[in-house]
Amino acid sequence: MNGRFKILASAVVTAIAAASTAAEEVPVTALPEASERIGRTEVRARPHFVWDVGFEFRFDNREYGDGDFAPSMTVLGARLTPSVGLQLSSPGNSRHRLMVGIDVMKDFGSDARTEDLFRELTLYYEWKKGFGRTDMTLTAGIFPRSEMHGAYSTAFFSDYVRFYDPNLEGLILKFRRPSAYYELGCDWMGQYGDTRRERFMIFAGGEAALADRLLLLGYTGYMYHYAGSREVWGVVDNILLNPYIGLDLAEKTGLQTLHFQLGWLQSMQNDRRNIGRYTFPSGGEFLVRLGKWNVSVENRLFYGCDMMPYYDSADTAGHVYADGLYFGDPFYHLGRGGVDMGLYDRLEICYGPRIADFLRLQVSAVMHFHSSGFSGWQQIVSLVFDLPDRKSSRRLRPQAD
């Protein structure tokens, strides 16, 4: 199996090189309609090669205190994600893509064999269609997590999850308008098996800009179903919602970023076998983001209950739920700090020079505080290289309302 994966990886990389040098530059807007007839001659849309190459390097040194919220460690690794596919247009301002790629990832210093570096195969279908001033995108298959564009708090997904679980298996439906964005998706995380739990998540996010884009109204949320296996009986429901209101003053002040956001985190959790009733942890979260001269400061202040009350609980086989049940930053597990209600503050200072449209470099210092005091900090260096095919990244033609 590993040998076949290596052959596929080689084929994908070779196809990208061939596509970038030999593929004909055919604009999407110039493609004939899928079944346009000229006299007796039928002209069909011509599919053409598209490609995408992504690379990510991450250094994340974590030095945490004695609160035992998370282990001190260093995350150091790199990921390469090439993909190739076919794209064509169809009547009604639609565009279709069929892509296949690989996820190659190496934790520096590990003794992983070469064949173990090929983590996952990505394959997905994407349909984009324009409705007046609204662009709709449907993606189905195994595709990058970066397709999620909602403003999810770190209570939903930690940086660790985003780096080590970069792909979704399911589908996502997105709608984008000039002043609004909405998404709804499903990620199937586990197939029912002997020891493997059945797991899936339904997630949603959206945001609308009002009052000349000064006022923002938005929401994010998920419903996570953590079911059992043949070995373990039991289901845990984990629902998390985050409505918020924001204020964007960047254009009014001349700053790169000046953003204020106030939201409410509301969770509903039920360990059906061990507890048998819902618990409702919640709290308020205030976010401030300030940026100028490529230097930004972000402070996220949460005050409320322990958002991960079952983190240290175990199933009938003795397996601790931990990060199998929760995907957010473990600092929201206030109960581990010995309190049922308290404060968590995350302060990040970042420098991100603008090098190129396809290259993002960030150097950050992240500090964590709780009601008891300083809980540790991180030093982060990340570099992201994302070079999509120009033909596949073009926007759809606008249509009159």
Tokens of 396: 């759809």
Q: What integer pLDDT is reported at residue 151 of this predicted model? A: 96
Tell me 227's DSSP state.
-
| Closest among 354, 345, 239 to 300, alpha carbons compared | 345
Tell me 198's DSSP state.
P
Tell me 398's DSSP state.
P
Q: What integer pLDDT is reported at residue 27 of this predicted model? A: 43
Q: Is the dihedral of CA 83, 88, 89, 94 positive or negative?
A: negative
Q: What integer pLDDT is reported at residue 42 of this predicted model? A: 44
Can you give the residue ranges of every domain in the chain? 2-393
Q: Nearest-5° angle of CA 388, CA 131, CA 45? A: 60
Q: What integer pLDDT is reported at residue 399 of this predicted model? A: 47
Q: Which residue in this structure is represented by tokens 């509903």?
A: 268
CATH topology of domain 2-393: Porin (2.40.160)
Give strand pairing partners of 263. Answer: 244, 285
Q: What integer pLDDT is reported at residue 268 of this predicted model? A: 98
Q: What is the pTM for the complete model shown?
A: 0.86
Q: What integer pLDDT is reported at residue 31 of this predicted model? A: 36
| Closest among 102, 136, 145, 130 to 14, alpha carbons compared | 102
Supply the DSSP string of 122-176, one letter for each residue. Answer: EEEEEEEEEETTEEEEEEEEEEEGGG--S---TTT--HHHHHH--EEEEEEEEEE
Q: What integer pLDDT is reported at residue 46 of this predicted model? A: 84
Distance CA 313, CA 68 (A): 16
Supply the DSSP string of 266-330, one letter for each residue. Answer: EEEEEETTTT-S-B--EEEEEEEEEEETTEEEEEEEEEEE-S-TTTT-B-TTS-B-GGGT--S-G
Distance CA 368, CA 347 (A): 7
Distance CA 378, CA 293 (A): 23
Neighbouring residues of 227: CB distance < 8 A, sequence distance ≥ 6: 192, 197, 198, 199, 234, 235
Neighbours of 254 (CB within 10 A): 9
Q: What integer pLDDT is reported at residue 29 of this predicted model? A: 40
- pLDDT by residue, tens only, the chain of 401 residues: 455 555 555 555 555 555 444 444 444 343 334 344 334 444 467 899 999 999 999 999 999 976 578 889 999 999 999 999 999 998 888 999 999 999 999 999 998 888 889 999 999 999 999 999 999 999 999 999 999 999 999 999 999 999 999 999 999 999 999 999 999 999 999 999 988 899 999 999 999 999 999 999 999 999 999 999 988 888 999 999 999 999 999 999 999 999 999 999 999 999 998 888 999 999 999 999 999 999 999 999 999 999 999 999 998 888 899 999 999 999 999 987 667 789 999 999 999 998 999 999 999 999 999 988 999 999 999 999 998 865 555 555 544 43
Are 196 and 224 contacting, i.e. CB atoms less than 8 angstroms apart? no
Q: What integer pLDDT is reported at residue 41 of this predicted model? A: 41
